[in-house]
A and B are shown apart, each in its own frame.
Chain A
Amino acid sequence: MQVTGMLWGSKLLKYVGFPTSEVLGPEATGEQVKDLIDRCGRVFIKPIFKGGVGKKGKLGLMGNCTNLADAMKEKERLYFAEHIQNNNVSKAEGVTFEGGVPAEYEIYFSISDSTEFRAPVITLTHHGGVDIEELPPEKIAVIPFDPLTGLKGFVISNALHKLGAPKELISPLVQNLPKLWDLYHNYGMATLEINPIRMMPGKNGRLIPVACDFKCAFDGDDPSVARLGLPDDLDTSSYSDFEQEVNQLRTYQGQSDVYVINDQGTIAAMTFGGGANALVTELLGDSANLSSDFGGNPPYEKMHDISRIVYKYWLEQSNVLFIIGGKANNTDIYETFRAMADALRDHFNKYGPTPLYVVVGRGGPNLIRGLGYLRDTLDSLGIPYQMFGYDSAMSEVVNYAQAADEWMKKGGREQIAKKLGITE
């Protein structure tokens, strides 16, 4: 799950007492917005995108107004704004109104886990407010630190000295930035980025760091995020209905990772193992409708549930049901194939038969019993199939599945439909 923007960002930052800009949600009345403008001098209107939307491509997707009439016009313009980046289209669901924060300096700050240092690192610069990739390396400090002691003030202080940051920045940042480690480490985050933190003059001219934008991603395997009590629908835009339904099955025994590759795809690939997932999805390209990894020896019940959901969403449009994996180390082929076969039979019983070609490549414990069970099921359902030994190159089996898909597109589907007595 990812959270972007200050509407929820400000709530999260308040858990650790980090100062934030004032934020109103889409439900704010004109009176409230006017009041915010009166107090802060200006208001920024930003579209709310669910899930992870980065800074890139956001150009023009922000209003900057000093009166209510303009603010309302901007609200109308941005309420359903679209953000396009790398073919991913996100549609806004409302806007936030964020009070302006007068400042001379803008800070970029993030915490993540570095594969280079194999430790948590901070990335810090006082040249913030822009894409971090646009800055030269000497303007950025990337500092690893010990997770057992946590992020301490001296780490911040050293980093700022290294960057040659103005002195007035050091004390307020040393005082406030370590709070963000608590948020990061204790609530299951995998990345946390605040850009910009605007350094607002407070009483006596001392600067106060104020978070003005927020982005974080949570570790899907960390239950600590539940402690924040975030609403379930905060990041629904990142997940299709299908993905959400499968995600509910996440338990530690057995993978159940799925990703919709092409919702028009015609090969439903049930893939076992992270490696097979990477390879098969790459080779299938757009002909696949989903990318999946169901390895890790899922028990019968879980595999049955997964199959039921996959079939429910994808079988009707699919030409080929493609079951593929390497030679399993510990995944029981009989249990997993029995579950897939039973779910297929149940699917046909419930929704009626659908024209299908089944291609299988697999190895592992109880292999022949598993293949035999699926064979008998497909025989009884009247579905054509080929099952290949694990000593066949996986890429060749993928090519075969694609050939079957092509044949289905060129009249094969009708042939099978006729055999099964269905009129499409």
Chain B
Amino acid sequence: MHPQGVEAFPHYYVGVNSLDDLVSKDDRICVLNITGGESRTVTPVSHVFSGGNIVCGTAPGRSGSSMKTKIGNIPVFDNLPQALAAGHEFNTVVVYLPPGGVRDGVIEAIRVVSNLKKIVILTEKVPVHDARIIRAVGQMHGVDIFGANCLGLADAHKQIRIGGALGGSHPAESLVPGSVAIYSNSGNFTTTIAVYLLTGGWGTTVSYSSGKDVYIHFGALEWTHAFHNDDRSKCAVMYIEPGGYYEHKLEFNKPVVACIVGRWKAKLTKACGHAGAIAGTGDNAEAKEDWFKEKFEVDDIFSPENPVCSAKGAVVTNIAHIPAAMTAVMALGKAEPDFAPRGDLSLKCWFSNTQGLDLPAALKPALVEALEPYNDQIAALSEQVGAVFPRQAMKDTSGASMMDPKTQVTRIHGTTVLDASTHSFEENLVQSLTREYPDANGTAMTNVMLNAFVNQAGKVGLAAADAAREAGNSPNTSLSSAVALVGPNQVANARTAAAALVELFKKSGIEDASDTRYDFSSQVAEADASLFTMGEPCALSDNIAAAFEARGANSIFVNFVKAVAEKAGAQLSAAALMAATTTHVAWKALMRKRISAITVRNIPWHFKIFSTLVGSAAAGDQQSADTFCGVANSDLLNSWSFSETAHLALLGKRPNEEELYSFSVLLGLIITNGPGTISAQGAKGAVSADGPEVPERIQINKGYIGFLTHTGYAHGGNGYEAISFLVDRFKDSGLTDPGSKDHGLDLKAMATTYAKEYLAYKIKAKAAGNIGYAKIPCTGHPVFKGEAVNYDPREAFVGKLFEERGDYNVFHEFYKELVQSLFDTGVTKNVFCVNVDAVIAVLLLKMLWQPYAEGKISDNTMESAAFTTFLFGRMIGSAAEIDDHTNRGKNMDTRTAASKCKYAG
């Protein structure tokens, strides 16, 4: 039932008669799923290394595109018939399909490609069920199949590889022509053995990674026959793992070193590593050692101490012994290695840090210069400062935020928003960019710097924001007009100064920028003073410097820029102080390579935008040259935190300690909901459109405009819905202080009354067929449901925070009573949770209640304040996304492929 192939195998089909035919210059290849994750990196290298043996590839939906390589593009088609119809001819198919698609891909290839000779399957985890069928179909049609889970074939003499990544990204380094053929159950060891052989002076002919699935279609028996027929191959290495009888009946007529590894696998009750490497008693490692010992007529395992071998071969159990065993075996046949040994296998330590521990000499290896080209790379590494993130398509992807679908809690740079909510606004702003919270000095300097630029009096941006408000725009729209005016020219000096500081200090060894004992005289001598100074006197700069002193803030970088100005006898610029501040807060993270130099250069721009956004939230008539919302600029600089300033901009007063805490928690909770949230998408889209692959061109302020335009009455403004609901419940209650337990209200009765009203409404609405009846805002959650009593863990966390402080919130208590009453009256089947949006609403309303009750602010103002609060909090998360996308993204990576777009006609 099979065509006749090589005569030596009458009972089944084998097409390859010699290793010389295994990899041929005439082989022409089509790669299935050529654009898949693995093929994308491997195939171009194979193509170039092999002098262009890949004629085309397939990837459903990508017809018409091509894969770029250094020696020309490889065309891509939807499927094989299309590729054939386009006139491409090939005799070899390489399979990179996912496991579920491998069987059908192979059957299709055999069906439509008339001249097919070889199929190489790289895919791992192909079910045994499918391997059975693949074997039978290949046999029926006379096609040699390699794999699955193999790494392909390579010929060092011909400098060709087919299929996988043998030799890695630089195949010529490992695949050096010589006389040894390699057969290996392990893909990685195929290359590693080739590298090890070089140290014994042995090069290779053909390397074959067989894979170690249950089915090995081109197995040891067929390979050995081909090895015998290849005159170039004088000897061979076989790397064999337990399981299967493939090697049992082998007979050799040339020398072989067999490496058998995996005695310990006898303990296994299930496969670990290779699927086929699970053995019974007859085919375990020990049994296989015996098979080969018998073939080679040796009675022991070869090791350097006990070099047991014959002219037929040797058995080793450690791949490091392969070169010595090969030399010993071949010497018995009077054969010399192919060339002088290249390198050796001794321990070579490339990186070491003993952390000052008292270690024995054996654990203190000397550093060895790495072989080329790694030595140059290591040298370059010491030059590089900060992280360099690999660029990738960042659509719906973030390196800054991540929502846990189980808990619905989002993390920003690894910190949950719950934990972030216990930090201040300014600390979170810094963390969004540096991934670490600032130290006390850093926080103090941040407060000074953000407050220094918050007053927008006389600025065009504020006039624009006011005009936008006047025109009836929502807060986000109005604020974006102010942010638009914080363009690159506005921050050029500070960014240049920040970059200069990094350059000057990158090799200083400074770990803690607050440790002012560092002697920076050499940097002062080297510095270009014009980057840190200005020609005219500058009051703002002097005031900032004074404020640093007033707050006792210590920083190497502040002292440094002062010293540079002093030496030059020039006025220190505010831009230099901004750069000193932002570099201070970023320094540790930069040195630890948590953030990039790009980020450090951009932080002054972010800071300027933070100040502008908060400052422009207050109307023009609230600001003058010397005061902001009635508070003197100097007071803000010397003693206010930026959180307090934000509260002032929003509500016109400095918060007391309790109010400040609530405000910070509120802003923390709002930071982010992950990269899928609309505001993050807006920010990321804006960065993507500028082309982050040239990060200098990213307009950071436009990123914030993207965030702002992607908020609105439904996203960010909807917090007002719950506020409005609560206002309706409490407006006639006579409540004066929502923070006092002595409010005199019967919350239970209020909740029950409302629950009954709602029940009546719901029944009536349903009877009328109105399925879209009004739901009560902020109760229930699609994830936290189904228990007798339900909790949103985020609400519970915040509730506990306030409880521990003894802070009371009547609206929060009302919500808790309400969910119980809704259950008691039969509106809900169990006690719904109070969700985290309710927490945001009750915190906001508590802030706004007194001025509202006193008639000082209208419903509209309250809605606007609620919305602006959201914008302040979300600004933190957006900063993180903008910076992350700038560092990691690719040009236009947020677009959606036309094939995934839908037309709704």
Binding site for B on A (CB under 8 A): 2, 51-52, 86-88, 113, 115-116, 118-120, 146-148, 185, 188, 190, 219-224, 238, 250, 252-253, 255, 257-259, 261, 272-279, 281-283, 285, 291-293, 295-297, 299, 325-330, 332, 334-335, 346, 349, 360, 363-365, 367-369, 371-373, 375-380, 382-397, 400, 403-404, 407, 412, 415-416, 419
Q: Is there contact, CB below 8 Å, between B195 and A377?
A: no
Q: Is there contact, CB below 8 Å, between A367 and B374?
A: yes
Q: Is there contact, CB below 8 Å, between B191 and A380?
A: no
A-side contacts of B261, CB under 8 Å:
275, 278-279, 282
Q: Is there contact, CB below 8 Å, between B274 and A376?
A: no
Given A118-B135, A118-B217, A394-B320, verify A330-B168 contact (CB < 8 Å): yes
Q: Among residues 386 to 430 in chain B, which have CB atoms less than 8 Å away from a CB atom of chain A?
A: 387-388, 390, 414
Say whether chain A's binding surface is mostly helix, strand, loop, or mixed: mixed
**Considering the chains assembled together, what is the distance between the CA atoms of A88 and B219 in angstroms?**
33
Q: Which of A115, A118, A327, A386 contacts B168 (CB 8 A)?
A: A327
Most buried by A among B124, B214, B272: B272
Given A221-B99, A221-B128, A395-B320, verify A368-B381 contact (CB < 8 Å): yes
Q: Is there contact, CB below 8 Å, between B592 and A223?
A: no
Q: Is there contact, CB below 8 Å, between B128 and A371?
A: no
**Considering the chains assembled together, what is the distance between the CA atoms of A65 and B575 in angstroms?**
93
Q: Is there contact, CB below 8 Å, between A330 and B212?
A: no
Instruction: Determine whether B745 belongs to the interface, using a CB cutoff of 8 Å to chain A.
Output: no
Q: Is there contact, CB below 8 Å, between B345 and A221?
A: no
A-side contacts of B189, CB under 8 Å:
273, 275-276, 326
B-side contacts of A52, CB under 8 Å:
269
Q: Is there contact, CB below 8 Å, between A387 and B360?
A: no
Give a binary string over B268-283; 1 marks a CB under 8 Å from any A CB, 0 the rest: 1111111111000001
Q: Is there contact, CB below 8 Å, between A252 and B129?
A: no
16 A-B pairs in the complex with CB atoms less than 8 angstroms apart: A220-B271, A221-B99, A221-B126, A255-B273, A274-B188, A275-B186, A276-B186, A293-B272, A326-B191, A369-B381, A382-B355, A384-B359, A387-B349, A388-B347, A392-B345, A415-B358
Going nearest first, the 8 A-B pairs with the smallest beta carbon separation are A275-B186, A326-B192, A275-B189, A393-B320, A273-B188, A115-B244, A222-B127, A329-B165
In the complex, given contacts A115-B243, A275-B184, A407-B360, what are 19 additional A-B residue pairs having Cβ atoms less than 8 angstroms apart? A113-B215, A252-B124, A273-B186, A274-B212, A275-B319, A296-B124, A297-B38, A327-B192, A329-B168, A334-B390, A372-B384, A383-B355, A390-B192, A391-B195, A391-B345, A395-B320, A396-B346, A415-B358, A419-B355
**Considering the chains assembled together, what is the distance between the CA atoms of A222 and B132 in angstroms?**
13
A-side contacts of B352, CB under 8 Å:
385-387
Q: Is there contact, CB below 8 Å, between B346 and A282?
A: no
A-side contacts of B62, CB under 8 Å:
none
- Whole-angstrom distance from the CB of B66 to the nearest CB of chain A? 21
Instruction: Determine whether B262 belongs to the interface, using a CB cutoff of 8 Å to chain A.
Output: yes
Q: Is there contact, CB below 8 Å, between A391 and B199?
A: yes
Given A391-B199, A396-B346, verify A257-B272 contact (CB < 8 Å): yes
User: What residue of chain B has the Cβ atom nearest to residue A284's Cβ?
Assistant: B264
User: What residue of chain A has the Cβ atom nearest to residue B374's Cβ?
Assistant: A368
Given A252-B98, A282-B264, A326-B192, verify A393-B345 contact (CB < 8 Å): yes
Q: Is there contact, CB below 8 Å, between A221 and B269?
A: no
Given A325-B188, A327-B168, verify A375-B135 contact (CB < 8 Å): no
Q: Is there contact, CB below 8 Å, between B215 and A118?
A: yes
Q: Is there contact, CB below 8 Å, between A113 and B320?
A: no
Q: How large is the interface on B (under 10, 10 to 19, 20 to 34, 35 or more residues)?
A: 35 or more
- Whole-angstrom distance from the CB of B315 to the nearest CB of chain A? 14
User: What residue of chain A has the Cβ atom nearest to residue B242's Cβ?
Assistant: A278
A-side contacts of B217, CB under 8 Å:
118
Most buried by B among A120, A291, A326, A346: A326
- Whole-angstrom distance from the CB of A323 to the nearest CB of chain B? 12
Q: Is there contact, CB below 8 Å, between A386 and B349?
A: yes
Instruction: Determine whether B371 belongs to the interface, using a CB cutoff of 8 Å to chain A.
Output: yes
**Considering the chains assembled together, what is the distance between the CA atoms of A369 and B389 in angstroms?**
10
**Considering the chains assembled together, what is the distance between the CA atoms of A183 and B555 in angstroms?**
73
User: What residue of chain B has the Cβ atom nearest to residue A326's Cβ?
Assistant: B192
A-side contacts of B262, CB under 8 Å:
278, 282
Instruction: Determine whether B654 belongs to the interface, using a CB cutoff of 8 Å to chain A.
Output: no
**Considering the chains assembled together, what is the distance between the CA atoms of A52 and B359 in angstroms?**
46
Instruction: Determine whether B37 belongs to the interface, using a CB cutoff of 8 Å to chain A.
Output: yes
B-side contacts of A375, CB under 8 Å:
351, 353
**Considering the chains assembled together, what is the distance between the CA atoms of A255 and B216 in angstroms?**
19
Q: Is there contact, CB below 8 Å, between B390 and A397?
A: no
Task: Name which of B361-369, B520-528, B614-622, B897-905 contacts chain A.
Answer: B361-369
A-side contacts of B140, CB under 8 Å:
148
The tally of CB-CB contacts under 8 A between chains A and B is: 303
A-side contacts of B264, CB under 8 Å:
261, 281-282, 285, 291
User: What residue of chain A has the Cβ atom nearest to residue B265's Cβ?
Assistant: A278
Give a binary string over B133-170; 1 marks a CB under 8 Å from any A CB, 0 the rest: 10111001000000000010000000000001111110
- Whole-angstrom distance from the CB of A151 to the nearest CB of chain B? 12
A-side contacts of B137, CB under 8 Å:
148
- Whole-angstrom distance from the CB of B322 to the nearest CB of chain A? 10
Given A146-B136, A278-B277, verify A384-B353 contact (CB < 8 Å): yes
User: What residue of chain B has the Cβ atom nearest to residue A251's Cβ?
Assistant: B125
Give a binary string over B338-358; 1 marks a CB under 8 Å from any A CB, 0 the rest: 000001111111111111111
A-side contacts of B126, CB under 8 Å:
221
A-side contacts of B98, CB under 8 Å:
252
Q: Which of B164, B348, B370 contacts A330 (CB 8 A)?
A: B164
Q: Is there contact, CB below 8 Å, between A330 and B38?
A: yes
A-side contacts of B195, CB under 8 Å:
326-327, 363, 390-391
A-side contacts of B131, CB under 8 Å:
113
Q: Is there contact, CB below 8 Å, between A253 and B38?
A: yes
- Whole-angstrom distance from the CB of B146 to the nearest CB of chain A? 14
Q: Which of A224, A329, A379, A407 contacts B353 (CB 8 A)?
A: A379
Instruction: Determine whether B487 belongs to the interface, using a CB cutoff of 8 Å to chain A.
Output: no
User: What residue of chain A has the Cβ atom nearest to residue B343's Cβ?
Assistant: A391
Give a binary string over B318-332; 1 marks a CB under 8 Å from any A CB, 0 the rest: 111000000000000
Instruction: Determine whether B123 belongs to the interface, using a CB cutoff of 8 Å to chain A.
Output: yes
B-side contacts of A295, CB under 8 Å:
187-188
Instruction: Determine whether B816 belongs to the interface, using a CB cutoff of 8 Å to chain A.
Output: no
B-side contacts of A400, CB under 8 Å:
347, 363, 365
Instruction: Determine whether B587 belongs to the interface, using a CB cutoff of 8 Å to chain A.
Output: no
User: What residue of chain A has the Cβ atom nearest to residue B281's Cβ?
Assistant: A133
Most buried by B among A258, A327, A371: A327
Q: Is there contact, CB below 8 Å, between A385 and B186?
A: no
B-side contacts of A277, CB under 8 Å:
272-273
B-side contacts of A385, CB under 8 Å:
351-353
B-side contacts of A389, CB under 8 Å:
348-350, 368, 370-371, 374
Q: Is there contact, CB below 8 Å, between B136 and A329?
A: no
Instruction: Determine whether B551 belongs to the interface, using a CB cutoff of 8 Å to chain A.
Output: no
**Considering the chains assembled together, what is the distance between the CA atoms of A327 and B37 in angstroms?**
20
B-side contacts of A335, CB under 8 Å:
390
**Considering the chains assembled together, what is the distance between the CA atoms of A295 and B124 in angstroms?**
11
A-side contacts of B347, CB under 8 Å:
388, 392-393, 396-397, 400
**Considering the chains assembled together, what is the distance between the CA atoms of A303 and B214 in angstroms?**
26
Q: Is there contact, CB below 8 Å, between A282 and B263?
A: yes
Q: Which of B124, B167, B319 contacts A279 (CB 8 A)?
A: B319
Instruction: Determine whether B883 belongs to the interface, using a CB cutoff of 8 Å to chain A.
Output: no
User: What residue of chain B has the Cβ atom nearest to residue A416's Cβ?
Assistant: B357
Instruction: Determine whether B795 belongs to the interface, using a CB cutoff of 8 Å to chain A.
Output: no
B-side contacts of A272, CB under 8 Å:
188
User: What residue of chain A has the Cβ atom nearest to residue B593's Cβ?
Assistant: A376
Q: Is there contact, CB below 8 Å, between A259 and B343?
A: no
Q: Is there contact, CB below 8 Å, between B371 and A391?
A: yes
Given A389-B348, A397-B347, A400-B347, verify A293-B164 contact (CB < 8 Å): no
Q: Is there contact, CB below 8 Å, between B377 and A368?
A: yes
Instruction: Determine whether B317 belongs to the interface, using a CB cutoff of 8 Å to chain A.
Output: yes
Q: Among residues 603 to 639 in chain B, which have CB atoms less than 8 Å away from a CB atom of chain A?
A: none
User: What residue of chain A has the Cβ atom nearest to residue B214's Cβ?
Assistant: A113
User: What residue of chain B has the Cβ atom nearest to residue A187's Cβ?
Assistant: B129
Instruction: Determine whether B239 belongs to the interface, using a CB cutoff of 8 Å to chain A.
Output: yes
